Amino acid sequence: MRVSTHPAQCCAAGQCVLIAPDVFDQADDGTVVVLLPEPPADRADAVREAAAVCPGMAIQVDG
């Protein structure tokens, strides 16, 4: 699994951080930051959920 983001699409809702705080964080302006671009398999469900609930559709999950 590989996680990438499109910060320009991020609306700084922070749902990703609430769901997977070990994978995502927020920059000073609130936009998404990926802490683990290749998260371990046991975090896959949380990462997919974070991408699914992202209101700006700023998170892309491959694999």
**3 state SS for 6-58:** CHHHCCCCCHHHHHCCCCEEECCCCCEEECCCCCCHHHHHHHHHHHHHCCCCC
**In this predicted structure, what is the pLDDT of residue 42?**
97
Q: Is the pTM of this model over 0.85?
A: yes
**In this predicted structure, what is the pLDDT of residue 11?**
97
Average pLDDT over the chain, rounded to an integer = 97
Give the pLDDT mean for 7-29.
97
Domains along the chain with CATH numbers: 2-62 (3.30.70.20)
Give the pLDDT mean for 28-41.
97
